[in-house]
Amino acid sequence: MSKHQKLLASLLLLAFFLGLLAGRYRQQLILKDPAKAYQVTTEDKQTGEEVIFQVQRFDDQRIKIQLSTGEVFASQITDKRENGAWVIELPDNGGKLALQQSLLPWKEAQLGILTSEKYRTVDNTSKVVIVSEPNSLETNDLTENQPKSETIVRTKLNLNAKAIDQVIEGFGKWLYDSSYGRDAVVVRGSFNDLSESIGEPVSVQAFKVDNLTVFAGLSGDDMTGFDNLDHQIQSYSTSLLDLNLKGKTLADFQTKAAFRVYYHPSGHHYYASVKEEKERLVRTSYADFYQNQVDDQEDSLHIVLANNGCVYYAKEYGLVGSVTYTEAPSEMQSVYNDLLGKAKTD
């Protein structure tokens, strides 16, 4: 081999090792830039539906995980690695994402499903998206619909039952003192307190907000045909905060993450349960109560807390035959997210 060939080979070898060193350096910088988001397309193993996952720096301590189904979560940044890849755990035992930086400096990091019973990675779909204006409390829409909520980030991934109850209770106390509950009656209850479904077979309750369907639990109390509903229940990615979609008892599917707000001659009062409301205020059927005792000149609201970090609400609840749910005002969203952020797990 000539001197020139040896020199060229040495330079190529040096360039290769410098590239590896640069790759290792870039591996340390992964997720440092909040304007850079990583996306991957996955497939729901049961339904075949494609779901986009997006991972982005949220703030100094957290990573934001957004799904094209509307769910947004925030995960604590840790040093946890598997084969050199960042490991990001999904909520509700949903599995793990892996973000692997290539050692080659000209290649971007690859995002994919590491383990999940629900999703599988669609090959060759990982990509980098440059976010022009990274906002820690706004979603970067992955669909054609613009998000309406400004603060829909759930900041805790695995809240236990006690923490969930504290979040709901805290929201109720705030609601009672807020401009929405001032001078009104505020009741913490289920999704459909007004329905009389005792002795009826269980059926799925859900509502739609734009293209997102939210599971709201089961109506009825006869669990005989529950097994026939299990597949439908598991298909929902978004539900009310306290529902256990993997549960097998009626109690697992009866939410207490809902509030009714209405105006009544009895004045400003908070009822922590429907039972308490009925014992002290509602002496007849709800249909008669809303028709004859609730002030129809004031707002009558139904407010629900979902596990995607969003608050949804409906107006004229109990005063008209059917209602439409929309994302609640930003003030409610902000309070809810603050409560989720402060919630502690055992």
CA distances to 94, 140, 157, 235 from 116, in Å: 6, 24, 16, 15
Asked if 149 and 333 touch (Cβ cutoff 8 Å), the reply is: yes
Q: Look at residue 227 in the predicted model and tell me its pLDDT.
A: 85
Backbone dihedral angles phi then psi of residue 290, each to the nearest 5 degrees: -70, -35
| pLDDT: which is higher, 154 or 340 | 340
Q: Is the pLDDT of residue 274 over 90?
A: yes
Q: Look at residue 262 in the predicted model and tell me its pLDDT.
A: 97
Residue 334 pLDDT grade (very low, low, confident, very high; cuts 50, 70, 90): confident
Q: What is the mean pLDDT of residues 139-156?
A: 36
Asked if 24 and 103 touch (Cβ cutoff 8 Å), the reply is: yes
Selection from 305, 337, 320 nearest residue 191 by Cα:
305
Residue 337 pLDDT grade (very low, low, confident, very high; cuts 50, 70, 90): confident
Asked if 324 and 314 touch (Cβ cutoff 8 Å), the reply is: yes
Q: Per residue in 98-141, pLDDT tens?
A: 888 765 555 788 899 999 888 999 999 998 887 644 444 333 33
H or E stretch at 20: helix 3-29
Q: Look at residue 309 in the predicted model and tell me its pLDDT.
A: 82
Q: How many CB atoms lie within 10 A of CB 257?
A: 27
Q: How many CB atoms lie within 10 A of CB 86?
A: 24
Q: Look at residue 246 in the predicted model and tell me its pLDDT.
A: 83
Between CA 39 and CA 62 the distance in angstroms is: 17
Q: Per residue in 68-105, pLDDT tens?
A: 766 777 777 666 667 677 788 876 667 888 888 765 55
Q: Look at residue 117 in the predicted model and tell me its pLDDT.
A: 87
**Residues listed for the chain:** 346
Q: Is the pLDDT of residue 265 over 90?
A: yes
Give me the half-sphere count of Cα atoms (radius 13 Å) on the Cβ side of residue 292: 9
Q: What is the mean pLDDT of residues 244-267?
A: 93
Asked if 274 and 265 touch (Cβ cutoff 8 Å), the reply is: no
Between CA 309 and CA 339 the distance in angstroms is: 10
Q: Per residue in 163-197, pLDDT tens?
A: 899 999 999 999 999 999 999 999 999 999 888 77
H or E stretch at 175: helix 161-177
Q: Look at residue 338 in the predicted model and tell me its pLDDT.
A: 84
Backbone dihedral angles phi then psi of residue 304, each to the nearest 5 degrees: -130, 150
Q: What angle do helix axes 161-177 and 330-342 make, rounded to 10 degrees?
A: 140
The secondary structure of residue 147, as a DSSP letter, is: P
Residue 18 pLDDT grade (very low, low, confident, very high; cuts 50, 70, 90): very low
Q: Look at residue 245 in the predicted model and tell me its pLDDT.
A: 84
Selection from 188, 170, 172, 166 nearest residue 346 by Cα:
166
Buried residues in 239-252 as b, exposed as e (16+ CB within 10 A):
bbbbbebeeeeeee
Q: Look at residue 168 in the predicted model and tell me its pLDDT.
A: 96
User: Which residues neighbour 197 within 8 Å (Cβ) at sequence distance 6 or greater?
Assistant: 219, 220, 221
Token pair, residue 42, equals: 């996955």
Q: Which of 128-137, 282-291, 299-308 has the lowest mean pLDDT?
A: 128-137
